[in-house]
Amino acid sequence: MAKSQGNGSGGRSLDAVIVGAGFAGMYMLYQLRNLGFSAKVIERADGVGGTWYWNRYPGARCDVESLNYSFSFDNDLEQEWVWSERYSPQPEILKYANHVADRFDLRKDIEFQTSVDKAVWDDNECRWAISTSKGETISAQHYIMASGCLSHSKLPEIPGVDSYQGPTYHTGHWPHEGVDFTGMRIGVIGTGSSGIQSIPELAKQAAHVTVFQRTPNFSMPAGNRALEADEVDAMKAIYPEHRQAARTSGFGVPVPLPERSALEVSEEERNEVFQRGWDSGNLVGMLLGFNDLLTSKEANDTACEFVRNKIRAIVKDPQTAEDLCPFDHPLGTKRPCLDSGYYETFNRDNVKLINLRRTPIEEITPTGIRTSDQEFTFDAIIFATGFDAMTGALVAVDIEGQDGITLKNKWQDGTRTYLGIMVHGFPNLFTITGPASPSVFSNMMISIEQHVDWIAACMVYLRDHGKASIEASQEAEDFWVQHNTEAGDATLYPLANSWYMGSNVPGKPRVLMPYIGGVGVYREECDDIVANGYRGFVMRDAREKASV
């Protein structure tokens, strides 16, 4: 077992540094420690949980069912933990993350309130020099980014965004003590999942809520409810088979795949299938009603119209209903949402929708928000404006690979990875749920576990074979970039201006970042690559220089 030791420049020397103590970083640490590697997690926050540490806004909860959205790597953990709701709320998921940290004694190897700011690859030593906000530079053979796909929050690019004098809150950085909006007039910018979850709760408390919507989203009722003891027991009895089915599924949740096209059935039958999907309270319930909803615009249009008719039936004011109806993207191509009374909230007297397509925001003022036709005064403004997704947290660290090339520069025209796990020119850098892996197109727990297991096995292989480094070859990376693009181009995803496509960040290259080939197919590919001697990867013996 490699011991943590000095690196000659005052810092420590480790087998691995892991960035982030969300579910990915915690499981990575657990695995590496069990395998005898010296590893430390560096985490900016003062606690574990990642997403569930930061996103504490009212109404925050998962939208993959808790019985699926949980770790499967430890049978006892799986059997002992009891989820209270179908879609458990943020405090319970954070409690689970803390339970995992305590149960496996992870905290002793996590350094909180510390950021990783820079990492430089030394091609002679085959090691990373990783600099932290505490002024330390740690030497590590392996550098593992578990920094999250949705952890780098962003404010809107609106003139005057810093000029508002009242309190502002971003859903991704919610105060730990909560916020009491009683009696306040508040403005909310953003109607993605965070806005859609929080607006109904905010409306119950605040005196008045003005919702600023640029793009209407498709949302379906979550059908959230308390879980019955017998259904939890029933799941626990079949967990091994259930998890295995999830690992080989398309989206990381075992659901039957449809065989028919939406266009080959009568309108009546189609609407019956959509109604079942709508009632299922399942994120992919409607999308998996037919086999062509993500590939045929004509088929997808029928599902869009079904949802729009639901919105029209729920929202009483016809203009508000029409403004809430999405027309600019196919269903599912922006992340679909599950809600608890979102559309109904617009029937309340204290909620008003502002359609920014008609009256855009011109500026944020010291007292509120001014659109092209009105000035609003608020006691607080909430930014539900999302994240620089997939790449934001990765390139926020100044990562310098071979020949001084930075990850940021390498990706300036679009993300390039092999399997979303490694990047050519950056040996021994692993990205958990990185770009071009199924990641956000899946139940993330399944994808996190698969990546962590793959990386851990790879590190064992290197150790057992006396290898100092592993790197994706240029050819393998080119192949995977092309494959990822082709998989995306066969779907409707490129039609939307979504964070999947990088469209929410000005200047970000327009590339479908996550891999849509499916969790099961992707896992097979990863396993096949290993079975074929790590096809597409180049390894170096200690101190051996190799041209890759």
Least distance to ligand N01 from the beta carbon of 67, Å?
Answer: 15
Name the residue nearer to ligand N01 (CB basis): 198 or 428. 198
Name the residue nearer to ligand N01 (CB basis): 11 or 148. 148
Where do contacts with ligand FAD occur on this chain (CB under 6 A)? 19-25, 42-45, 50-51, 53, 55, 60, 62-64, 69, 115-116, 146-151, 194, 393, 397, 432-433, 443-444, 448
Least distance to ligand N01 from the beta carbon of 384, Å?
Answer: 5
Name the residue nearer to ligand FAD (CB basis): 129 or 448. 448
Cβ partners under 8 Å of residue 537, min gap 6? 418, 422, 470, 471, 472, 473, 476, 529
Cβ partners under 8 Å of residue 300, min gap 6? 262, 292, 293, 294, 330, 331, 332, 492
Least distance to ligand FAD from the beta carbon of 393, Å?
Answer: 4
CA distance 141 to 153: 30
Alpha carbon of 225 to those of 176, 340, 415: distances in Å? Answer: 25, 10, 40
CA 49 to chain centre: 13
462 binds, among ligand N01, ligand FAD, none (CB under 5 to 8 A by kind): none
Name the residue nearer to ligand FAD (CB basis): 115 or 261. 115
What residue has token string 């087998």? 15
24 binds, among ligand FAD, ligand N01, none (CB under 5 to 8 A by kind): ligand FAD
Which one-letter DSSP state was computed for residue 89?
A: B
| Residue closest to ligand FAD (Cβ) | 50
Least distance to ligand N01 from the beta carbon of 10, Å?
Answer: 40
Identify the CA nearest to 534 among candidates 419, 415, 416, 401.
Answer: 419
Name the residue nearer to ligand FAD (CB basis): 85 or 363. 85
Name the residue nearer to ligand N01 (CB basis): 37 or 83. 83
192 binds, among ligand N01, ligand FAD, none (CB under 5 to 8 A by kind): ligand N01
CA distance 288 to 257: 7
214 binds, among ligand FAD, ligand N01, none (CB under 5 to 8 A by kind): ligand N01
Least distance to ligand FAD from the beta carbon of 455, Å?
Answer: 13
433 binds, among ligand FAD, ligand N01, none (CB under 5 to 8 A by kind): ligand FAD
The encoded tokens of residue 219 equal: 């949302």
Least distance to ligand FAD from the beta carbon of 443, Å?
Answer: 5
Where do contacts with ligand N01 occur on this chain (CB under 6 A)? 62-63, 150, 156-158, 171, 189-195, 197, 212, 214-215, 335, 338, 356, 361, 384-387, 440, 499, 504
Least distance to ligand FAD from the beta carbon of 1, Å?
Answer: 25
Name the residue nearer to ligand FAD (CB basis): 147 or 320. 147
115 binds, among ligand N01, ligand FAD, none (CB under 5 to 8 A by kind): ligand FAD
Q: What DSSP line would sit under 456-478, residue for residue?
A: HHHHHHHHHTTEEEEEE-HHHHH
346 binds, among ligand FAD, ligand N01, none (CB under 5 to 8 A by kind): none
158 binds, among ligand N01, ligand FAD, none (CB under 5 to 8 A by kind): ligand N01
Identify the CA nearest to 127 among candidates 426, 534, 461, 434.
Answer: 426
541, β-bridge pairs: 467
Name the residue nearer to ligand FAD (CB basis): 355 or 447. 447
Identify the CA nearest to 418 among candidates 484, 482, 477.
Answer: 477
Name the residue nearer to ligand N01 (CB basis): 162 or 268. 162
Least distance to ligand N01 from the beta carbon of 169, Å?
Answer: 13
Cβ partners under 8 Å of residue 445, min gap 6? 23, 64, 68, 69, 70, 71, 72, 252
Which one-letter DSSP state was computed for residue 440?
A: G
Least distance to ligand N01 from the beta carbon of 545, Å?
Answer: 42
Which one-letter DSSP state was computed for residue 4?
A: P
The encoded tokens of residue 56 equal: 């504490």
Which pairing describes strands 537-541 and 467-472: parallel, antiparallel, or unpaired? antiparallel
195 binds, among ligand N01, ligand FAD, none (CB under 5 to 8 A by kind): ligand N01
**Residue 339 · residue 200 · CB < 8 Å:** yes
Least distance to ligand FAD from the beta carbon of 257, Å?
Answer: 19
Name the residue nearer to ligand N01 (CB basis): 151 or 415. 151
CA distance 130 to 127: 9
250 binds, among ligand N01, ligand FAD, none (CB under 5 to 8 A by kind): none
Name the residue nearer to ligand N01 (CB basis): 150 or 220. 150
- Within 124-241, strands assigned E span 127-132, 137-145, 168-170, 185-189, 208-213, 219-221
The encoded tokens of residue 66 equal: 């808790």
**Residue 31 · residue 37 · CB < 8 Å:** no
69 binds, among ligand FAD, ligand N01, none (CB under 5 to 8 A by kind): ligand FAD
Least distance to ligand FAD from the beta carbon of 198, Å?
Answer: 10
